[in-house]
Structure formats: C-alpha cells, structure tokens
Structure 1
Amino acid sequence: MLKSFDIYNQNNVLKIIVALNLLLVGTGSLLYTNRLINKLEDREKQYVQLYSKSIAYLFDTSHADAGDLTFVTSEILEANSSIPAIYVNPDNQIAMKRNIDVPDDYTPEETERFLRQKIADMRKNHMPLPVEIGNGERGLVYYNNSNLLRQLNYFPYALLTILAALSVLAYLAFSSSRRAEQNRVWVGLAKETAHQLGTPMSSLMAWVEYMRSDPDQFDGSITDEIEKDVQRLETITARFSSIGSIPTLKEENVNDVVRQFTDYLARRISTKVKMSVTSQLPPGQLIRINKLLFEWVIENICKNAVDAMKGVGELRLNMVLLPHDEVAIDITDTGKGISKANIQKVFSPGFSTKKRGWGLGLTLAKRIVEEYHNGRLYVKSSEVGKGTTFRIVLNRK
C-alpha cells in the first residue's frame, strides 16, 4: 500500500508540473500575441494616416503641377491592398474605397447603403482619420483592421482551446494511469490473499476429516456446519483468485442460485433481519453468469443492507422479467437510506458511511455486474429513513 501511495503522490506532482507548464505557456503566448496585435494595430493606423495624407495631397490643388509627387502619392494609395478603407469627402459623399468587395449586381442605391453600413461598422472599431484638403475643408477616412489582424485577434482563443484540450488529455492520461495502477494493486492484493488462505483451509479440512472419524466424540451436525464454512472459505478464495482474470460464464438457473445462496446467508446474518425471496421468473430461467462472482455481488449488497439496518429489519429479494430480454433482481432493505448527495458516490472506491471496512464491496459488485456480465447495477430508489432498493439487470441471452 505504501508503494501505491507513493505512486499517487508522484502522479499528483506530475499533474501540478504539467498544469504549471501549460499555464506558463498559455500566459506567455497570450501576452506575446497581445503585444504583437497592438504593434500591428499601431502600424496599420500609421499606414492609414499615410493613406489619408496621400488623399489630402491629391485633392490639394496647390500641388497640381507636381506630377512626379502625384504619381508617388497614387502609388501609396494603390499599395494599400489589405486594409479596408472608405474616404468620405467634406460633402459627406463616398468618394473612394479600398479593399471592400461590393456585390456586382448591386444598384447604386444598394451600393450606397452597403458602404454606409460598412462605415457604421468601422466607426465602432476605430475613430475616422481627418483629411485636410485645404480651404478649411476636411474629409474623413474610415478604416477597419485587415483580414490578417482580424485573424490574429482570434488566435488567443484558438490557443486557449488547444491548451484546454491538452489539459483534458493530460488529465485523462494521468487518471487512466492511476486507475490502472489501482487495479494492479487490488489484483495483486486479492491474489496474495487467496494464496495466504490456502494453507489454513487445508488444515481446517484435515480437522474436519479427523472429527468425522470419531462421531462419538464430535457432534455430526456441528462438523457439517464447520465443513460448510470451510467450503465457503474455498469459494471466497476462488473469488479472490479470479480477480484480474476473465471469468468463465455458464448458463445457470438464476432462481436456484439466488435461493440457495440466500438460504446460506440467512443463517449467518442477524436473526432480527427477516429475509424473503420472491420470483416472477419462469422456474427454469437460465442466465449466463459466473456463479462464484455473482454470489459475491448478492452477498456484498445484502451485507451492506444488513449494516444499513443495524441488524434489525426486512431484506427482500424480488426477481422479475423486463422487456428487451432482461432480468432484474431487486434487493430492498428497510435501513437508513441514502441521501441524494451520496447516491452517485456509493459505487466509488473507498466511499463508506461505516466506521469499518474499506468501501470496496459495492465497487467490486458493480464491476462484476457491468464488466464481467455485461449488465447494470444501480440504486433504483432510496429514501432517507425508510430504505434502499438496489437493482441488478442481466441479459437473458
């Protein structure tokens, strides 16, 4: 157990290290991306300012003879191939646009409305830049971020999504590793327990044979009960030995299996617990089960019920047919019940409301039913102070 504990601690340390690395990478990338976006925004703003000055230069009549400069200015205007921009002259008329696709089938009126809507959208993102064209007149250049900058704005969200996905994958990997290690620990513990039980059981069987050899001194009925308990220990040993292995399923009469086992169990629990078994199944109903493991499921649920009733109450088992070729076994007690907060936890390893025990009985029962028998085990109903019903569902075929 100490080895297992160290492994879990190491996994926790690795989880923290991975989480910190992801946090550092994410924070660093976001800061760098934000800095890059700000620089690009400033650069595009400077470019639009240059674009505005070029427009002002072209409309300034004082430069009418400066042909070469006008050519250079035109080159600056044409060089803007990525930043959407619209120039509105002092009369509030749209005089020029760049990098805005207008549908070819639009009428002049539709084009005007389309560009005015673009201007409204641009105004939400950036203040328009003034264009001084002389004589106290001023136009405005409206602009928006380029496609590259808009895409870059979404990059942090994409990065966060990727980091979140990596975090989930890392968590699942560590959780899977931990569950696999837990399984190895419990399998090893179960097989070692089975091995350790072998020697005292052999000795007990020898004592039973010795007692049978002298019936005058030893009461035969007592010897029979001792032999049953030794056989019971053999069954438990076989169960522990089968953990971690794929069990063999055989067709068994489920009515007989449940009744025979509950008859045995009834003589070994509190005499103040009234146990009853009813069945609506056909007398010869066969189910493919592993008898040893299935009896273990019944035992774990029943013993858990007896503990919940503190040794006083009623324990009822009822077998019924379900649609879709299924059989249900309901195990009902009159115990303290399970709170809604704990219903989802009762099958979790280590969960227990009792002072004794490891909280593994119901966990093993659920695993045996669902993983080995392809069935279902769940809390059908529970009411605090009145009792609980567990339901086992198995396939008839």
Structure 2
Amino acid sequence: MVKKDAFRIKYYTRSVSGRLAFIFVGLLFIGLLIYITETVRSTLLEHNKRIMNSYARLWALAITEAVRGEELNIIFEEIIKKADFPIIQTDVDGEPIAWRNINVSPRDSAKIKRILKRMASQSTPIPVRSGEYGRTLGYIYFGESRFVSLLRYLPVGEFILLLLFLYLGFLEYERKKTRELQNIWLGMARESAHQLGTPISSLLGWVELLKNKINKPESGSQSDITCEKILAEMESDIQTLDTIVKRFGKIGSAPEIEMVNVNEVVSEAVKYFRKRIPTLYSKIEFLERYEEEHIIVPGNKLLIGWAVENLLKNSIEACDKGEGEIMVVTRTNSADNCANIIITDNGRGIPGGIQKKIFTPGFTTKKRGWGLGLSLAKRIVEEYHRGKLELLESKPYERTTFRISLPISWAE
C-alpha cells in the first residue's frame, strides 16, 4: 500500500540523517575547540605553577641569605616581576603579607581574603620552606591571568558564534525555500495558462467557424468543412481540457495506479505534437521505434503522458530554426526490470555547467520559460512512479538524450 503522504510537495528538504550528521559535525567541532582551549589553559596554569615554585625557592634562599644582592635582584626582575597573573604571599598562618597584579587597597583585607580563598580553590598553594631546616616560612597563592581567565569563556563565544552561523544559514535556507515556492506557484500558474490556452483558443476558433457556417453556409473555402468535422474537433479540444484539469488535480495527491501500456502513452504524446506543432517548428521530424509490441508498467496514464509531453516539448524548443529530428524509443531492460522511454534530439544541447541544475524548480535558460517542465517530469517519474529520469548525454547539434526508467513491477 502506497502512503498518501508520500505524494505531498516537498521543497529543498533535507533528510533526517543529513540533519543529524550536520548537528553531529557541529557538536564535534565545538567539542574539539573546548578540548584545545582547555589544553592551552592547563599548559599556561602549569607554567604559572613552575614560576611560583621558582619564586618560593628564591624567597627561601633570600631569607637564609644563600642568594644575595645583585643575583637575587636579577632573578626577581626577570622572573617574578614579569609574571602577569595574580600572586599573594602569606605567612604560616595564611595571613596575606604581600601581593602582585591585584588591584586592591592594602586596607581592604576582607577582599584580599576572598581573593585568597578563590585562589586556594583553583590551585594548591606553594609552601616556602627553609633549605636548612625544612621549616615552612609561608605560602604563595596564585591565580589565573586575565588571558587564561578569558580562555574559560572562549568555548561559550565559539558556541554562540556557531549558533549565529546556523541561524544565518537557516534564514538563507528559508529564503531559498520561499523563492522556490514562489517559482513553483508562478510556474504552475503560467503552465496552467499555457496548457489551457491552446485548446481554449482552438475552441474559440471552431466556435467562430461554426457561426460562419450557420450564418453563411456556402461561404467560400469553408464549404468543405462540415459541421460534423467541427463538432469532432471541438470534442477533441474539450477532452484535452478535461485531461489538463485531471493532470493538475493529481499533483500533490496519491494518483490512481493501474497497468499502463507505455507504447500507447508515448504514441499518443507524439501524435499530439505532430498535430499541434507550431508552424515555426514545422520542419521537425518525429521518429518512433517501439522495440516490443506491448510494454506494461504500473502507473498513472495521465501523469506518465504529461512527463513524456514535457520532454518532447523541451526537445522541440531545443531545435534551432525549427529544424531537426526527435527520436523516441521504448524498450525493456531486463537487467533493471524496468521499461525505458528514450527521447533524443539533435538540437542545441545543454551546456555542461548547468546540466546538474536543469531539474531544479524555477531554473531555466529560456527568455520566456519558467523552469517547471523538467522538474515536474522528474517529480512525476521518481516520486509518483518510483522510476528515474536522467540526462544521459548532451552534445550540441548532435544528440541530447533523456531517459525515463519505469519499474515493470512494484515491490510492496
């Protein structure tokens, strides 16, 4: 049983697996950035710790007078004073006695102790011990530099930036979706007007001819056209109108599937164009080859005929100066268990740079085109009949070949 939801119109939809893959890659990217950031941050903290260990040893040496004068000053100037992270020295009881890179008034002891407590939670204080007796003389507490602290928030900023890019991408996707939707409906409106216009114009002509026939029964060259002939042509045009209405009515809904004779559908489409081909293209020759007498596939006759007509129309318009050949072949492919409808013309062809775009709704290279014929044909073949429509080759003024493949049977 075919689900009706399968035939709803879709616009630039992405598969669920594609969306999940996109999200996974994004999360992986964020995770990698967080890992790199934390690695850099840990390395810098370890570097700070090594500097503080050196400072603790120097302090102990200075107290025991193992290092004096100029040597101690050089080490202090080159190592300690160049440190850009906050440092607090305390006595054995943990009372602050000196600090660097902390903008706090000496009188604000409460704030210093709060900062000291925070430093203790971030890293283990380094004890200063006397080299001679190993006695603890005090402690050195150190924290993160401003740069290292900012690294904590880098992943958050990166995540926000990624969300911003995703949002902008979503807006662009919605814009393309809206534009495509507009192209679809504009194209459908124009296609409807074009499809209805031909038989309606023909009917108006026959009505006018019938009026003249009734009012002036012996008027010149019209005397050889009988009323029966006029009525037959009008009935044919009315049937065409009915077919057009039914075709458009099937778009977006589950079509009625029956066994269809492919040769019959193709023959009727070729006959339709032979009879109604514009004078401008009167030198185009249609060639037909049916390699088997009967090729039966499950499908909807009206929709398959519509797809074939769109391809034939495309081939007719590709023939410059109204001259050329259009070859239509039907055959079965036992290897793929499908029926093939192959349409080849020797028109101007399709440039290689746009061959992947020709089935996109709204894409056209024609001045008066609306880019719906090929996309509609592809939708009919692939979404409604589980088949495939593809451009096999295109060599300008040699051959351009489209192939419709329809499965001979459907697996439920």
- Normalising by the smaller structure, the TM-score range is 0.5 to 0.7
Residue equivalent to 2:290: 279
CA distance in 2, matches of 1:312, 1:200: 26
Indicate conservation of the 8 Å contact 1:313/1:333, yes or no. Answer: yes
Does residue 344 in structure 1 map to residue 335 in structure 2?
Answer: no
Does residue 312 in structure 1 map to residue 323 in structure 2?
Answer: yes
Does 325-334 or 49-58 show the bigger shift? 49-58
Does residue 257 in structure 1 map to residue 292 in structure 2?
Answer: no
Once the two structures are TM-superposed, the CA of residue 285 in structure 1 deviates from its matched residue by 2.6
CA distance in 2, matches of 1:212, 1:347: 47
Deviations 1:160-199 (A, max 9, x none): 3333333333333443344445545556777788899998
Does residue 232 in structure 1 map to residue 233 in structure 2?
Answer: no
CA distance in 1, matches of 2:188, 2:364: 21
Residue equivalent to 1:176: 177
Residue equivalent to 1:266: 274
Q: Summarize the Cα distance change of 1:244–1:195 in structure 2 as closer, same or farther, 3 Å threshold.
A: farther
Indicate conservation of the 8 Å contact 1:194/1:237, yes or no. Answer: no
Once the two structures are TM-superposed, the CA of residue 321 in structure 1 deviates from its matched residue by 2.4
CA distance in 1, matches of 2:150, 2:269: 73
Indicate conservation of the 8 Å contact 1:41/1:145, yes or no. Answer: no
Deviations 1:114-134 (A, max 9, x none): xxxxxxxxxxxxxxxxxxxxx
Q: Summarize the Cα distance change of 1:276–1:246 in structure 2 as closer, same or farther, 3 Å threshold.
A: same
Once the two structures are TM-superposed, the CA of residue 347 in structure 1 deviates from its matched residue by 2.4
Deviations 1:214-242 (A, max 9, x none): 99955358534454344323323333344
Once the two structures are TM-superposed, the CA of residue 338 in structure 1 deviates from its matched residue by 1.0
Once the two structures are TM-superposed, the CA of residue 305 in structure 1 deviates from its matched residue by 0.8
Q: Quick one: which of 216, 219, 223 aligns to 2:225?
A: 219
Q: Summarize the Cα distance change of 1:383–1:203 in structure 2 as closer, same or farther, 3 Å threshold.
A: closer
Residue equivalent to 1:62: 64
Q: Summarize the Cα distance change of 1:192–1:55 in structure 2 as closer, same or farther, 3 Å threshold.
A: farther
Matches within 5 A, 1:10-29: none
Does residue 363 in structure 1 map to residue 385 in structure 2?
Answer: no
Counterpart AA for 2:177: S
- Alignment partner of 2:269: what SS? helix
Counterpart AA for 1:56: L
CA distance in 1, matches of 2:53, 2:92: 13
Once the two structures are TM-superposed, the CA of residue 339 in structure 1 deviates from its matched residue by 0.8
Does residue 329 in structure 1 map to residue 341 in structure 2?
Answer: yes
Q: Summarize the Cα distance change of 1:197–1:305 in structure 2 as closer, same or farther, 3 Å threshold.
A: closer
Once the two structures are TM-superposed, the CA of residue 145 in structure 1 deviates from its matched residue by 11
Residue equivalent to 2:139: none
Deviations 1:219-266 (A, max 9, x none): 358534454344323323333344444432322111111123212322
Does residue 248 in structure 1 map to residue 259 in structure 2?
Answer: no
Counterpart AA for 1:359: G
Does 155-164 or 318-327 show the bigger shift? 155-164
Q: Summarize the Cα distance change of 1:378–1:144 in structure 2 as closer, same or farther, 3 Å threshold.
A: farther
Counterpart AA for 1:62: T
Matches within 5 A, 1:114-193: 152-180=153-181, 182-183=183-184
- Alignment partner of 1:318: what SS? strand
Residue equivalent to 1:296: 306
CA distance in 2, matches of 1:240, 1:201: 20
Indicate conservation of the 8 Å contact 1:84/1:145, yes or no. Answer: no
Calculate the TM-score normalised by the size of structure 2: 0.56
CA distance in 1, matches of 2:186, 2:397: 37
Deviations 1:329-385 (A, max 9, x none): 111001111110121232233433333333322222222222322322221110123
Segments of structure 1 that go 5 or more residues without pairing to the other structure are: 1-38, 87-142
Counterpart AA for 1:55: R
CA distance in 1, matches of 2:58, 2:357: 74
Indicate conservation of the 8 Å contact 1:84/1:146, yes or no. Answer: no
Q: Summarize the Cα distance change of 1:146–1:271 in structure 2 as closer, same or farther, 3 Å threshold.
A: closer
- Alignment partner of 2:91: what SS? helix
CA distance in 1, matches of 2:202, 2:253: 23
Indicate conservation of the 8 Å contact 2:392/2:403, yes or no. Answer: yes
Question: How many residues get paired?
Answer: 300
CA distance in 1, matches of 2:339, 2:145: 67
CA distance in 2, matches of 1:294, 1:276: 20
Q: Summarize the Cα distance change of 1:353–1:163 in structure 2 as closer, same or farther, 3 Å threshold.
A: closer
Indicate conservation of the 8 Å contact 1:317/1:331, yes or no. Answer: yes
Calculate the TM-score normalised by the size of structure 1: 0.58
Indicate conservation of the 8 Å contact 1:208/1:227, yes or no. Answer: no
Counterpart AA for 1:315: I
Does 204-213 or 180-189 show the bigger shift? 204-213
CA distance in 1, matches of 2:149, 2:291: 71
Counterpart AA for 1:284: H
Indicate conservation of the 8 Å contact 1:315/1:334, yes or no. Answer: yes
Let me know the Cα RMSD of the aligned residues: 4.9
- Alignment partner of 1:299: what SS? helix
Once the two structures are TM-superposed, the CA of residue 280 in structure 1 deviates from its matched residue by 3.5
Does 332-341 or 175-184 show the bigger shift? 175-184
Once the two structures are TM-superposed, the CA of residue 389 in structure 1 deviates from its matched residue by 0.5
Does 149-158 or 168-177 show the bigger shift? 149-158
Counterpart AA for 2:167: L
Indicate conservation of the 8 Å contact 1:255/1:284, yes or no. Answer: yes
CA distance in 1, matches of 2:146, 2:330: 71
Larger relative contact order (Cα-Cα within 8 Å, sequence gap ≥ 6): 2
Counterpart AA for 1:69: D
Q: Summarize the Cα distance change of 1:369–1:168 in structure 2 as closer, same or farther, 3 Å threshold.
A: same
Q: Give the percent of matched residue pairs that are identical in Structure 1 and Structure 2.
A: 29
CA distance in 1, matches of 2:298, 2:327: 23
